[in-house]
Amino acid sequence: ARMMEIRQQNCSPMTMKVTYYKEPVFIHQGYMQWLWDVDGRRYLDLFAGVATVSVGHCHPKVRAAAEQQMKKLWHTTNIYVYPTLHEYCEKLVSYFPDPLKVIYLTNSGSEANDLAMLMARLHTGNYDIITLRGSYHGGSPQAMGLTSNAAYKYPIANGLGCTNTMCPDVFRGPWGGSHCRDSPVQTTRECSCAQGTKNTAMQLSVHSSNTKCCMIKSHDEATLKCICMANEQYIGQLQETLATSVPTRIAAFFGEPIQGVGGAVQYPKNYLKQAYKLVRERGGICIADEVQTGFGRTGSHFWGFQGHDVIPDMVTMAKGIGNGFPMGAVVTTPEIAASFAKGIHFNTFGGNPVACAVASSVLDIIKEDGTQKVSLDVGSYLMVELAKLRDKYEIIGDVRGKGLQIGVEMVKDKVSRDPLSHQDMVEIFEDVKDMGVLIGKGGVYGQTFRIKPPMCITKEDADFFLAVFNKSIQNYMERR
Ligand code: PMP
């Protein structure tokens, strides 16, 4: 009760608002894939502080790296030269293909995307930016302008985060964000955040993504044909977006390799490849937001973009980079970095020695513990088993994702594909928690359960979750 009182009176109201559960869960300890609340109840953590705890809560080797660095040096700023920063940058760069060679260290994903936006505009001399519907790129005022999801925006006239006011040249590209539903509803919500102001970006969104054909059940011929159709349609809409903006004004295209907050949304095959080509033809640069998909989370690759056969001009990272320690980064080409070097870029905490020591140990652990392989193996197993539940239950509309970046989209029924109501989602969500598993929620309509655990979970953990999830749906059906 005392903690609730403090939380209500002294913590930010937003923190209260995003409290996921009816009764707040007071977590006070974690170890690897497990969390404990103040009453000593243990939870299997399948959300990892929003895909952030990459190698495990309080991983002993990360803790040792932090402790060791804390005894030596906490802070100097990058005015001075210190080994941890340089060792880390050299190491991180080795994970990228040419020509991605220059690292900038920040403290969060939003900051990384702000910086990327600035660098893209400086380098190209252009201003317009394209982001995809359903995307999330951050909550800082600038990054909020990139974020599509209206739930994370503020309805202020000329507010920076507002879709079409102070960031007038952010075009929402064609991707809809849901396999199960048409998307114009989202557009209405987007519009409501900018009352009385209209621009082409909004209208373009209205026309986009009106297909229902993307409910991927299996990769049979009909489905593949369907994906191809969708692909053509979406690329067509991207072309339309590009043609409507003054073609030579494009600064950048931002895309998450798999949408995270949007609900593990994947693009049709070759979508990003074609998008990159179109953007580059018009003088823009391509930015992959790997804040959620990086560091092996997608299992098959270390970076999500590698699954799309593209090389971005810039990659932004955060979350898993520090296993929960606040950190972010941007990597780009020497050419783009040279344009940026014309000014002075200063960031007091970016590249903090402790953060660098932690992040360096995270890279080592991913190698030593075979983390990416776990993500691939356990993730693939979960996908197969969840697909069985999808075939069994009318209310599971879609199971998608890659590695340990999984979305389970809940629907009223498979014919209408209407999203399951908020109340019903909460019911299942609470039940899962009461049985000892923490998962996430997301999607444009809040209709997608998100599974993105620390990448040290085992097949046994997956089985435990599957049994819990199955039971929670059975319970839900019985109550109906
Ligand atoms: N990009 C993506 C893809 C994200 O998921 C997030 C956070 N959910 C961000 C950027 C912003 O990161 P941060 O909260 O660290 O600012």
Q: What pTM does this model have?
A: 0.87
Q: Say which CATH topology domain 65-368 has.
A: Aspartate Aminotransferase; domain 2 (3.40.640)
Ligand 1 atom nearest to 140, measured from its CA: 16
Predicted confidence at residue 188, as pLDDT, reads 24
Give me the interface pTM, i.e. the ipTM: 0.99
Pocket lining: 138 vs ligand 1, CB cutoff 6 Å:
yes
315 burial level (CB within 10 Å; 0-12, 13-18, 19+): buried
Residue nearest to atom 10 of ligand 1 (CA): 137
396-402 and 250-255 beta bridge pairing: unpaired
Ligand 1 atom nearest to 261, measured from its CA: 5
Q: Helices in 250-333 by DSSP H: which ranges? A: 271-281
- Parts of the chain with a pLDDT under 70: 13-19, 154-233, 241, 244-248
Report the separation in Å between the CA atom of 19 and the middle of ligand 1, taken as the mean of its atom positions: 18
Domain with CATH 3.90.1150.10 in the chain: 2-55+370-479
Report the separation in Å between the CA atom of 394 and the middle of ligand 1, taken as the mean of its atom positions: 32
Report the separation in Å between the CA atom of 317 and the middle of ligand 1, taken as the mean of its atom positions: 9
* Domain spanning 2-55+370-479, CATH architecture: Alpha-Beta Complex (3.90)
Predicted confidence at residue 85, as pLDDT, reads 93
Residue nearest to atom 13 of ligand 1 (CA): 109
Under 8 Å between Cβ of 437 and 44:
yes
Predicted confidence at residue 77, as pLDDT, reads 87
**Range 249-271 burial, b when 16+ CB lie within 10 A, else e:** bbbbbbbbbbbbbbbbbbbbebb
Predicted confidence at residue 156, as pLDDT, reads 54
Amino acid at 30: G
Predicted confidence at residue 172, as pLDDT, reads 52
Measured on CA atoms in the order 275, 276, 280, 283, is the torsion positive or negative?
positive
Site to probe by mutation for ligand 1, drawn from 53, 114, 319, 405 as the one with most ligand atoms within 8 Å of Cβ, is: 319
Ligand 1 atom nearest to 50, measured from its CA: 8
Report the separation in Å between the CA atom of 139 and the middle of ligand 1, taken as the mean of its atom positions: 8
Pocket lining: 318 vs ligand 1, CB cutoff 6 Å:
yes
Pocket lining: 260 vs ligand 1, CB cutoff 6 Å:
yes
Amino acid at 344: I
Site to probe by mutation for ligand 1, drawn from 47, 115, 266, 292 as the one with most ligand atoms within 8 Å of Cβ, is: 292
Domain with CATH 3.40.640.10 in the chain: 65-368
Under 8 Å between Cβ of 353 and 78:
no
Beta bridge partners, 402, equal 405
Ligand 1 atom nearest to 293, measured from its CA: 3
Predicted confidence at residue 255, as pLDDT, reads 92
Report the separation in Å between the CA atom of 7 and the middle of ligand 1, taken as the mean of its atom positions: 24
